[in-house]
Amino acid sequence: MAAVKTLIRAEEDGSISFGDYELDEKTKLSDFSHDGDVYKVKTFREITRLERNDMFVYESVPGTAVSHLTYGDGSMSFTVDGPEDAQITVEGEPDSEYSVYINEEARDDQKTNLGGKLSFSVELGSNSCAEVKIVKK
């Protein structure tokens, strides 16, 4: 999967794709409207961050490309690609427990902190990508 060269785009299935880890300088795009929400993306090789309606949604260190992000009803799913392993943080509900699946393999259940953040690592690199699914318990 290649980086999203337009920084963020709507997909035909109603999901969104964003991020370009190949950029050397931080680049951002604000005011991207999709499905009644306004998104902002900041991305380059060191970090990728997505906000929806000025609220945190996704962040990876180093930068990644995310395709077909969908979320709602206590779940989130997407495909992530990057040049090396990444630490990913997503927004969940505060003080809640989630099951995280990477390439359909269950990870240990995780609890969000009081701010609702959920963090996990994903092994990437050498033209690999990972399917991620997060489900509230």
Task: Please check the confidence at residue 127 and state whether its pLDDT lies above 70.
Answer: no
Mean pLDDT score of the chain: 93
Q: pLDDT, tens digit, for every residue of 52-66? A: 999 999 999 999 999
Average pLDDT over residues 93-112: 94
Which residue reads 């409207």 in tokens? 33
CB atoms within 10 A of CB 131: 15
Structural domains of the chain sorted by starting position, each given as residue range(s) with its CATH number in brackets: 8-136 (2.60.220)
CA 62 vs CA 16, 42, 47, 108, 136: distances in Å: 20, 12, 5, 23, 26
| CA-CA-CA-CA torsion sign (8, 10, 11, 15) | positive
Place 45 in a pLDDT band, splitting at 50, 70 and 90: very high
Average pLDDT over residues 85-97: 95
